[in-house]
């Protein structure tokens, strides 16, 4: 259940970013962080290749 919820949250964040007209351009596991190790607080970093 934790993995499923995490995947759903990732998809929701990606959808929101895309709806805002931004494409990350380099979305890898290295660019996804958990704030304070909490899987409910997902942070994307390194938007250097974003369009």
pLDDT tens-place string over residues 1-51: 889 999 999 999 999 999 999 999 999 999 999 999 998 899 999 998 899
List 9, 26, 27, 32, catalytic entry: 26
pLDDT at 1: 87
> Which two three-digit tokens encode residue 23?
């494409």
pLDDT at 12: 96
Alpha helices for the chain (secondary structure H): 2-19
Map residue 42 onto helix, strand or coil.
strand
Respond yes or no: is residue 46 known to be catalytic.
no
């Amino acid at each position: 259940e934790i993995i499923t919820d995490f995947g759903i949250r990732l998809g929701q964040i990606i959808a929101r970013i895309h709806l805002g007209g931004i494409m990350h351009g380099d979305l890898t596991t290295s660019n996804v962080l958990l704030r304070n190790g909490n899987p409910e607080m997902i942070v994307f970093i390194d938007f250097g290749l974003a369009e």
